[in-house]
Structure 1
Amino acid sequence: MTAQTTLVLGANTVITQERCTVEFTTSDSLRFGQQLGLLWLPLNEQRKAVCSPAYLHESKDWAKLDNRDTPREWQLDLPDLFDVQGVSFLQLIAYTYQEPTLNLPAVELHKVSLTLNGGAIHYDFLASERHVKAAIVFEIYKRNGQFKCRALGESSTQGLASLEQRVQVSLDIRPPDTHALIQEAQQQQRGSSNSDTRTPRQVQAGETWTGTAFAIDEYHLLTCYHVIESAAMIGVRQQGQPDREAQVVLSDIGSDSAIIRVSDPLPCHLPLAQQCSDILGETITTLGFPLSGLSSQLQVTQGCISGLTGLSDDIRYMQFTAPIQPGSSGSPLLLPTGEVIGMVTASLVHEHAQNMNYAVKFQLLSALLASAGISLDSAAHGSNATTAPLTTPQLSKQSRGALWLVGCQG
């Protein structure tokens, strides 16, 4: 029988099984997946996010769960994550679910027990203070060809907000029930359209769908994660330009954003807004390729910023009134100065409301670019930004060269 290694805070040891299991439990009456969440966060050498995390409500190929309804064990594919995807550190974070629109009783994180590979390694995290809302409890890394793990205990009474800025990725800390309700509402609105669904895409070989992307420097474009999800091949098209194949550089499902890259220089690009205040009610213009099966021409719509948060007061998004349709996902929201204030991601229809459209905020788009090592200074250099407000025809003429129809094939 293999002896058990019990870790204390700060201690590390070798993981002998590269495709390992991590069993997790907690104390008292709290349950993972109901009051408490877990996520695996992949980081690079600079401890910035490499790709989107694995959650209890959203597992990954490299981090699978034994049971989504009553989860108790992760199965990790460490070679795939570290050797193929270039991860340097993998951190396990425990946190309490937060839903600002619900009157939930106060929940605190007290104890998390971890057991690796059927008992080979054990660690008990104990919160050292009261009112802990989140904690980095465990870390896996690779040194000298060996996978190792380290017991951690960095806790926070403020949740994951500070961690998001440090690792430059948005984190979804809403309860799974809320997450599922939002996805259901989105799916009902989008109907059978494959191009705008946030649930995992199940595609057939050869199946095609479209969306919109906009250039942010000579070689990179921004679009939505759900546009390029499950695509075996991605291409971009613009009238008067040769078709180009694109590759995914970085994607983040939490903010529904992705960066794609082409090999030949793009003719022009758009600048991201750097700082904005008091934008509620500001006029915006969208340019995109909705309903491309009916027309492949660029379409322009106009509206205003009608809300500064998304569904359930989600601060990652803003609400706007410009009309959009399936295929608009990935379209930029442009200020009258030509700056991108957001990116179209979703639209909801309710019998008592209209124009409930949502966009990813420019701050998250900036963070995604920084995570990919794309300088915001270089992205703005030589762009079409102006200090004087433009009319809608002027804005359309100035910006249209940066807009591309995205075509995906499964």
Structure 2
Amino acid sequence: AHVVEVAVLDLSVHGFPHVEVVTDYRVTFVEGVNSHSARVLRRPSGADAPDLAVLGIEPFPGMPFVQGFRSDVTPAADGDRVMMLGFPYRTFRVYEGVVTRWRSPDGHDYLMFDRPVHPGASGSPLVDPTGAIVGIAKGRLENPDTGEPIESGGISIPIGDVRSVWP
């Protein structure tokens, strides 16, 4: 599923650069026909919390669901091949890439991979060749000096960090 941000409060005009707070959530599945209103069920708190949330929607006939999700899979390692399944620009795409570990300036560990995370693909799963989800796409890398996106790289939250929000 893909979360579509419908109503956004842009805080950059209030002195918080590059910060947006989503105030309304919609979820659209692969078929892309219908979107469903969603609510936040769980969001981690604290300075070290990952940028994740679990959303809930009302069940509907034929609704797809994750069966057997595990957050205790073997972590992805440098050189591992992965696929990112996402909806950049509201179109379903599959991207293949290679993982490297990366520690951000704030000390968080992420998986870096050699494909960009375009708008609409954040929150997409990073899947290893066995089909296990090893990460959740977060965004593009940015040049620390200019803030400009680096088109050749994306980052994802390692799946082990999802344990803090998964029910």
Q: TM-score, normalised by structure 1?
A: 0.31
SS at match of 2:165: helix
Partners of 2:124 and 2:155 lie apart in 1 by 11
In the TM superposition, residue 273 of structure 1 has moved relative to its aligned partner by 4.4
| CA-based RMSD | 3.0
Q: Judging changes above 3 Å, is the alpha-carbon distance between structure 1 residues 231 and 248 closer, same or farther for their aligned structure 2 residues?
A: same
Partners of 1:278 and 1:343 lie apart in 2 by 12
Q: Deviations over 1:339-365 (max 9, x none)?
A: 1111111212449x7633211111110
> Does the alignment pair 1:333 with 2:126?
yes
Name which of 119, 140, 145 aligns with 1:347: 140
Alignment of 1:337-376 (within 5 A): 337-350=130-143, 355-369=152-166, 374=167
Name which of 11, 14, 17 aligns with 1:202: 11
Q: In structure 2, what is the equivalent of residue 244 of structure 1? A: 36
Which one has the largest radius of gyration? Answer: 1
In the TM superposition, residue 311 of structure 1 has moved relative to its aligned partner by 1.5
SS at match of 1:355: strand
Query: Deviation above 6 Å: which 4+ runs of structure 1?
Result: none
In the TM superposition, residue 274 of structure 1 has moved relative to its aligned partner by 1.8
Partners of 1:354 and 1:313 lie apart in 2 by 21
Q: In structure 1, what is the equivalent of residue 85 of structure 2? A: 287
Q: Judging changes above 3 Å, is the alpha-carbon distance between structure 1 residues 272 and 310 closer, same or farther for their aligned structure 2 residues?
A: farther
Q: TM-score, normalised by structure 2?
A: 0.70
In the TM superposition, residue 249 of structure 1 has moved relative to its aligned partner by 0.9
- Residue identity in the other structure for 2:36: R
Which structure: greater helix fraction? 1
- Residue identity in the other structure for 1:243: S
Q: Judging changes above 3 Å, is the alpha-carbon distance between structure 1 residues 282 and 326 closer, same or farther for their aligned structure 2 residues?
A: same
Alignment of 1:146-161 (within 5 A): none
How many residue pairs were aligned? 143
Segments of 5+ residues of structure 2 without an aligned counterpart are: 13-18
Segments of 5+ residues of structure 1 without an aligned counterpart are: 1-194, 204-225, 375-410
Q: Deviations over 1:11-31 (max 9, x none)?
A: xxxxxxxxxxxxxxxxxxxxx
In the TM superposition, residue 233 of structure 1 has moved relative to its aligned partner by 2.2
Q: Judging changes above 3 Å, is the alpha-carbon distance between structure 1 residues 233 and 315 closer, same or farther for their aligned structure 2 residues?
A: closer
Which structure: greater strand fraction? 2
In the TM superposition, residue 250 of structure 1 has moved relative to its aligned partner by 1.5
Q: In structure 2, what is the equivalent of residue 59 of structure 1? A: none
Partners of 2:137 and 2:112 lie apart in 1 by 10
Identity of aligned residues (%): 23
In the TM superposition, residue 272 of structure 1 has moved relative to its aligned partner by 3.4
Alignment of 1:256-267 (within 5 A): 256-264=51-59, 266-267=63-64
Partners of 2:25 and 2:151 lie apart in 1 by 33
Q: Judging changes above 3 Å, is the alpha-carbon distance between structure 1 residues 246 and 278 closer, same or farther for their aligned structure 2 residues?
A: closer
| Higher RCO (CA 8 Å, separation ≥ 6 residues) | 2
SS at match of 1:232: strand
